[in-house]
Amino acid sequence: MSELYETLKGSAVADVRAAIRSRRYASHTAGLGQGYLQANLAIMPAAYALDFMRYCQRNPKPCPLTGVSDTGNPWLATMGGDLDIRSDVPAYNIYRDGQLAGSVTDIADLWQDDFVAFALGCSFTFERALQAAGLPLWHIDHDKTVPMFRSNIETVPAGPFAGKMVVSMRAIPEGRVNEAAEISRRYPLAHGAPVHAGNPAALGIADLARPDWGDPAPVPEGHVPVFWACGVTPQVAIEAARLPICITHKPGHMLITDIAEDAEVPVLTQHA
């Protein structure tokens, strides 16, 4: 898988999507589909969709809504020319009554006629800009999933959806934290600027070596842990809502769209 990952890092979006759809690639998407928006995913019965949309509208930092499917339609046409939401994510988490029931690489046999799919912007999108500025990203350099943590920041409830904000962490050289913040601020569809830099305890995080999702990443001497709002936040809200069924991406395993990564509003473009 690591060799294929290195190949896909330089591949066009269509080729990356084909590898995912054929199940040849089922790992994290950090560093893939460069130049295009990556998205978190939440799929649920239409009866809960309006409340979830309200939740995203009230919490735009962790839940920047970039696309919504028609009810029962698995083709997310506003996000990609041939994007099939049932197969074009490397791995999915299945929740039943708020509990994680398992992970799969295809949801065709789980699809329901009343499902609505939501795509939400992901912080992976601005990482290419950080790298272009010469800021190292340990998890990409080492083929790992970015570490994610439950914070003590409350989100604004909507219907049954509520819970703490999830944050992702990247170690940034201490003299370049403001630069990293300004770079990421240019990507409002990808969570924008960080929510915190420095002491993780201020966010209620006791141990950076024990992320709730993803892989632990070091904070070398002379670096600062910087935290961005994370699109795994809806998964926490979904757990609290205890929906009879809900499908999300597996953290770190994102939907790669045909939306340009620097778009301020979702506008479908032709990928290379």
DSSP string, 207-221: -TTS-SBS------T
The per-residue pLDDT for 8 is 93
The domain ranges of the chain are 124-229
The per-residue pLDDT for 271 is 44
pLDDT band of 179, cuts 50, 70, 90: very high
What is the C-alpha separation between 267 and 198, in angstroms, rounded?
A: 35
Average pLDDT over residues 193-207: 97
pLDDT more than 90, % of the chain? 76
The per-residue pLDDT for 128 is 83
pTM over 0.95: no
What is the C-alpha separation between 127 and 15, in angstroms, rounded?
A: 20
pLDDT band of 272, cuts 50, 70, 90: very low
Check if the beta carbon of residue 125 is closer than 8 Å to that of residue 261: yes
pLDDT band of 233, cuts 50, 70, 90: very high
The per-residue pLDDT for 96 is 96
What is the C-alpha separation between 65 and 84, in angstroms, rounded?
A: 18
Cα–Cα distances in Å, from 178 out to 173, 174, 182, 183? 10, 9, 6, 9
> Would you give the DSSP letter of residue 203?
G
User: Is 34's pLDDT higher than 90?
Assistant: no
pLDDT per position as a tens digit, 70-89 = 999 999 989 988 899 999 99
pLDDT band of 266, cuts 50, 70, 90: low
Q: Indicate the CATH number of 124-229 among 3.30.2350.10, 3.40.47.10, 1.10.3720.10, 3.30.2040.10.
A: 3.30.2040.10
pLDDT per position as a tens digit, 54-74 = 999 999 999 999 999 999 999
User: Is 1's pLDDT higher than 60?
Assistant: no
Q: What is the separation of C-alpha 2 from the centre of its chain, rounded to a whole number of angstroms?
A: 21
Position of tokens 């970039």?
A: 66
pLDDT band of 267, cuts 50, 70, 90: low
pLDDT band of 252, cuts 50, 70, 90: confident
pLDDT per position as a tens digit, 109-159 = 999 999 999 999 888 778 888 999 999 899 989 888 899 999 999 999 999
Which is higher by pLDDT, 123 or 255? 255
What is the C-alpha separation between 264 and 20, in angstroms, rounded?
A: 27
The per-residue pLDDT for 263 is 66
The per-residue pLDDT for 225 is 98
